[in-house]
A = this chain, B = another copy of it.
Amino acid sequence: MSDAVITLTTDFGEGSPYVAAMKGVILGINPRARLLDLSHRIRPQDLRQAAYFLAITLPYFPREALHVIVVDPGVGTERALLYVEVGGQRLFVPDNGCWTGLIAAGETPTVLHLTEPRYWRSEISATFHGRDILAPAAAHLSRGLDPHLLGPTAGTWVKKEMPAPVLGPDRVGGEVVFIDDFGNLLTNIPDTALAAWQDRAVRIAVAGKPVPQRVRTYGQAQPGSLVALINSGGMLEVAVAHGSAAKELAIAEGAPVEVELA
């Protein structure tokens, strides 16, 4: 356990000195920890993007991994810091709701307040609790500490709902929830919402712009053509084959997506 993987997800930017400082703090407490960058390119203070990122990545990890998440617009205010066990994952995260999308239906997560200063750095700044509290707490846990020594069980916590699609009899309305580096538009419309219409003609539009073609995979489309497909996460996605749908349609996250029976 002492060589546990500790992943880092922040909005600090690639190559940030703040990420480096967290790595140093963790190795100072557990020199055998295996550090793994997930992303440092969450948009600054964007809890919605952080929530989406965590929801589509953490489920792939084994329970052995610990995840430190530092997207923390409320740093230094009264917001709590949490240790969470949810969906088979263990997280260190500010109490801002960016993790609650991982709660499975019917699941009651374990949530602790990180109140025990023994597992913090000796000096706590007002602006960087990722370095001063979350990172050292994770490092101590990775050495085998009983998590319940980190602080008391939290009775309540901030809960953020992921934006849900609106399902009608002949229409599904959703939105673009993430734009990847290819410029593909990931939506919140699951394939299950469209399954009943599988053999029927549908009209798909993003921000009012029609998407003319449905394909199974990018390689089936002419380079440059605008297509819709079910992506590797089981969700409707709009893409330009070998191009950027985000650029060509000038779309930002949050844009509306509509699917209608033709």
Contacts and interface: CB of A to CB of B under 8 A. Distances in A.
Interface of A: 5, 7, 11-18, 20-25, 27-28, 31, 34-42, 44-45, 53, 56-62, 64-65, 73-77, 79, 125-128, 131-132, 178, 180-182, 216-220, 229-232, 234, 242
Contact of A127 (B12, B58, B74, B229): B229
Contacts of A13: 180-182
A31 B5 contact: yes
Q: Which 6 A-B pairs have the closest CB atoms?
A: A76-B217, A13-B181, A24-B60, A15-B39, A128-B232, A15-B41
The copy count of this chain in the complex is 3
Contacts of A229: 126-127
Given A14-B39, A15-B42, 11 more contacts: A7-B23, A13-B180, A17-B39, A18-B180, A20-B60, A23-B36, A23-B38, A24-B58, A31-B64, A73-B218, A73-B219
A173 to B, nearest CB: 24
Given A16-B39, A217-B126, A27 B62 contact: yes
A26 to B, nearest CB: 9
B21 A217 contact: no
A57 B20 contact: yes
Given A76-B219, A219-B73, A242-B45, A232 B17 contact: no
A70 to B, nearest CB: 12
B216 A76 contact: yes
A77 B220 contact: yes
A40 B37 CA distance: 13
A62 to B, nearest CB: 5
Given A13-B180, A40-B15, A217-B126, A21 B56 contact: yes
Contacts of A217: 75-77, 126-127
A25 B126 contact: no
A80 B132 CA distance: 37
Nearest to A29: B62
Contacts of A61: 23-24, 27-28
Contact of A20 (B11, B12, B38, B181): B38
Contacts of A23: 7, 36, 38, 60-61
Contacts of A56: 17, 21
A38 B15 contact: yes
